[in-house]
Amino acid sequence: MEDILLSGRPILVIGAHAFDAEVMAGPLAAAAAARGATVTFLHLSLGEQGHSELPPDQYAEQKRQEAAAAAAVLGVRWQTLDLPDAFVPDDDATALRVCDVVREVRPEVVIGHWHGSWHKDHRAAHRLATTGVFFAGLPTLVRQAPAHDVRHILFGENWEDDEGFRPEHLVDVTPGFDLWRAAVAEYALGRGLGSFPYVDYYSALYRMRGCLRGTTYAQGFASASLSWAANAGQFLPPRPST
């Protein structure tokens, strides 16, 4: 999987809030972009409810600016669906909006949230990513863009999504670590807003994964069910009989 992720193939990272994609796949994104990959971050929500003093509309605008600045540092593209923070809907209508982004970006790899989370928006984001990918591959589902089969779905590590998470792939992201540190510093969350020490936690996590990978830094990813590989190819031409 490391060879695929760092081969220059397009990647889409779907996060519940601006800053989630950066911590689930930021170092990877920087390393992959440096090798020529088109990496896109889709922030389902900006996370506008996460400031104790600023009203949501003002914090949303701040997060929008922070997301743009972080993406520029990492060398990635970004967009948002502007869904309401704390109320990200888990329904087919929203999954179709995710489907449209998948068909537009046409990634080979999609990275999303692990399902074992105490955060309701993160659980919704997991289902929206998987359902959106499913919808994107349906050739009979008519949307503005043609159908697209995603070849690999992975789930990144997030401190809020740790229930049952077991990394199956450890990817060397050492070349992207310093850019990640600079990128998350564009966010107030990365400069100490709130009580959780995000930069300390994820820096230590990537270092620990690097120890296990045999590199300085690494990120861990879980895979979808083994049956996904068969599902992803179900609309390919049939194999010739032998």
DSSP string, 78-112: EEEEEEPTT----SHHHHHHHHHHHHHH--SEEEE
Residue 229: its pLDDT value, please?
61
Residue 228: its pLDDT value, please?
62
pLDDT over 80 (residue 180): yes
pLDDT category at 194 given cuts 50, 70, 90 is confident
pLDDT category at 225 given cuts 50, 70, 90 is confident
Within-domain flag for 141: yes
- The total number of structural domains that make up the chain: 1
Contact call for residues 106 and 133 (beta carbons, < 8 A): no
Report the alpha-carbon distance of residue 89 to residue 19 in Å, rounded: 19
Within-domain flag for 239: no
Report the alpha-carbon distance of residue 12 to residue 98 in Å, rounded: 11
Segment 86-101 mean pLDDT: 98
Which helix (H) or strand (E) covers residue 231, if one does? helix 227-232
Within-domain flag for 8: yes
Within-domain flag for 226: yes
Contact call for residues 83 and 120 (beta carbons, < 8 A): no
Beta strands in the chain (DSSP E): 11-17, 39-45, 77-83, 109-113, 152-156, 169-172, 218-223
CATH of the domain at 187: 3.40.50.10320
3-class SS of residue 12: strand
Within-domain flag for 96: yes
| Domain membership of residue 101 as a residue range | 2-231
Segment 222-234 mean pLDDT: 70
pLDDT over 60 (residue 242): no
Contact call for residues 221 and 169 (beta carbons, < 8 A): yes
Report the alpha-carbon distance of residue 84 to residue 102 in Å, rounded: 21
Q: What's the mean pLDDT when you consider all of the chain?
A: 95
pLDDT category at 231 given cuts 50, 70, 90 is low
Distances (CA, A) of 119 to 85, 86, 126, 128, 202: 11, 9, 11, 14, 18
Within-domain flag for 66: yes
Q: What are phi and psi of 226, to 5 degrees?
A: -60, -25
Q: What is the pLDDT of residues 100-138, one digit of tens each?
A: 999 999 999 999 999 999 999 999 999 999 999 999 999
Q: Which two tokens stand for residue 104?
A: 């537009």
Q: What is the pLDDT of residues 142-162, one digit of tens each?
A: 999 999 999 999 999 999 999
